Amino acid sequence: KYGAGPGFLSIIPGAGQFYKGSVAKGSLILAGEIAAAGGIIFCENTRASYIKKMLEQPKHASEYNSLADSWETGRNVCIGAAAAIYIYNLIDAFVAPGAKRVTVKKARASLSAVPYVDSNTIGVGLALKF
């Protein structure tokens, strides 16, 4: 079991999934959040540009106002998508089982030297335990 660690890591989108070994899912969540944030910024900048044009050119104000409203809708859709992805990220980090965890005990390797005496030979025998 992973405990609550992945849930707290998922404050950063996808980090909880990476911790649990779901690299593809974590990558998609992170990429989705980045794309939604980029969409929010792009739509808001375009909307602000049309509002500026609306104030500068009053004879085209209704056209620019309509375009600004469309970009505002796009921004709101991106905000909703970012919120939905983030909520999914939090729920998935707590609920999904994740990859199977395996703990491997590290063996203590040791090298020992033992004197060796035979009727024909005298020497040192080396033993490596791993």
Region 60-88: mean pLDDT is 96
Q: In whole angstroms, give the CA distance from residue 68 to residue 92.
A: 36
Tell me the whole-structure pTM to 2 decimals.
0.69
Which SS3 state, helix, strand or coil, does residue 3 take? coil
Region 45-52: mean pLDDT is 96
- Structure confidence by residue, pLDDT tens digits, 77-96: 999 999 999 999 988 888 88
Residues with Cβ within 8 Å of 72's Cβ and at least 6 positions away in sequence, in order, are: 43, 47
Of residues 14, 67, 90, 60, the one with CA closest to residue 75: 67
| Residue of 109 and 36 predicted with greater confidence | 36
The pLDDT score that the predictor gives to residue 101 is: 65
